[in-house]
């Protein structure tokens, strides 16, 4: 019996160098490290990246750290990163941390 992870990152749409992705499930301290490694592989071929977060079921501050890392990496590589349908809880954590402008949410 295999246990499915409590999260996934999938490519929804590819249009040249633009990739639209969706994250499903839980973004917490247990999932973000593996998710970050997977994202590095998936994001490699794209210069414009959008990530739909509408299917995220749970977040904590680890999710914020992950998104900041993705934003930092995109800036270093001259890429754009857009977050779509950001859950209210994540928006609240970003607002309290005063980084919502950095993430453009």
Domains defined along the chain, listed by start: 7-103 (3.30.750.24)
Contact 6, 31 (CB under 8 A): yes
Confidence at 52, pLDDT banded by 50, 70, 90: very high
**Confidence (pTM):** 0.90
Question: How is residue 2 written in tokens?
Answer: 């295999």
Q: What is the DSSP string of 71-98?
A: HHHHHHTT-EEEEES--HHHHHHHHHTT
1 falls in which pLDDT band (50, 70, 90)?
Answer: low
Sheet holding 80-84, edge to edge: 7-15, 18-27, 48-59, 80-84
What gap in Å lies between CA 104 and CA 95, rounded to an integer? Answer: 11
């Amino acid at each position: 019996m295999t246990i499915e992870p409590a999260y996934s990152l999938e490519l929804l749409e590819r249009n040249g160098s633009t990739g639209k992705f969706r994250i499903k499930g839980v973004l917490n301290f247990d999932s973000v490290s593996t998710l970050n490694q997977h994202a590095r592989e998936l994001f490699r071929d794209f210069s414009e990246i959008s990530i739909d977060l509408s299917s995220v079921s749970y977040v904590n501050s680890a999710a914020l750290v992950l998104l900041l890392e993705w934003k930092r990496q995109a800036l270093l590589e001259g890429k754009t990163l857009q977050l779509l349908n950001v859950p209210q809880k994540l928006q609240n954590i970003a607002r309290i941390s005063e980084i919502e402008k950095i993430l453009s949410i």
